[in-house]
Structure 1
Amino acid sequence: MSPQSLFRRVAIAEAVTWALLLIGMFLKYVTRTTELGVRIFGMAHGVVFIAYCLAVLFVAVNQRWSARIVLLGLVSAVPPFMTVWFDRYAERRGLLAGGWRLVAGGETPRSAPERVQAWMLRRPGLAVVVAVVAVAALTGLALAVGPPVPAKS
């Protein structure tokens, strides 16, 4: 799987979960029929949101994105469907071109993030486990912190 295909899959998944969450919100707040959609799709969207943010960081290391591009990629997860826009934007500018440069026999890692990425690329099965654990841990942290609370007036 190339950086582009990994990024595209996660970007589309993030947009799909946004759509499902919006449907759930419509059912909860407009038709007042059920809260189930928000509970289920809200959790799914939260998990995929975190996975998307991690994918941005992982691909950014490989592609040597500037801090500005990384920030744009991360911020694109906030408005609905903007991850798909960012994917197209990055593709048009060649920001997703090429393969994984730190695979075995590839470039030598020069920084801590590159060493982590090289380790993961050389052990794909274990990398999937690490990624799932990272998403689960960050999701657990987000659940522990809870939603933002509006200021009392």
Structure 2
Amino acid sequence: MIKTFKIIAVLEGFSYLFLFANMFITKNINLDIYKSILYPLGMAHGVLFIAYLILALLVKIKVKWSINTFLIVCAASLIPFATFYVERKYLKNGNI
């Protein structure tokens, strides 16, 4: 489960960045491209976001994270690049 959470954390971070890139770059280039890419990227990011939060809860229960650690991990899903930080600090360095 922890390995799956690591993968989802990285994928969620990349999907967030791709969504921002699509929003900022293609919106000004061509409206049709923007609309055709936005839905699949948004859907993928939404699914990964929900999976990230569910897996964070399951890992919290399994590893017995403190409430502060759990809230930091959950808040990281809202900030660009923060899931990479969580993956590195809380999941990779032997804290689990």
Q: Say whether the fold is shared (TM-score over 0.5).
A: yes
Comparing both structures, which one devotes a greater share of its residues to helix? 2
In the superposition, the TM-score normalised over structure 2's length comes to: 0.85
Moved over 6 A (4+): none
Q: Aligned partners of 1:8 and 1:38: how far apart in 2?
A: 25
Taking only the aligned residue pairs, the percentage that are identical comes to 29
In the superposition, the TM-score normalised over structure 1's length comes to: 0.55
Please, which runs of 5 or more residues in structure 1 have no aligned partner?
97-153
Q: CA RMSD in A?
A: 1.5
Match of 1:77 in 2: 77
Please, which runs of 5 or more residues in structure 2 have no aligned partner?
none
- The residue correspondences of 1:1-153 to structure 2 (distance < 5 A) are 3=2, 5-26=3-24, 27-28=26-27, 30-33=28-31, 34-90=34-90, 91-92=92-93, 94-96=94-96
Secondary structure of the corresponding residue to residue 77 of structure 2: coil
Q: Aligned partners of 1:53 and 1:39: how far apart in 2?
A: 21
Post-superposition Cα deviations, 1:52-103, rounded to whole Å, max 9, x if no partner, equal 00111111111100000000000000011211111111133x332xxxxxxx
The count of residues paired between Structure 1 and Structure 2 equals 92
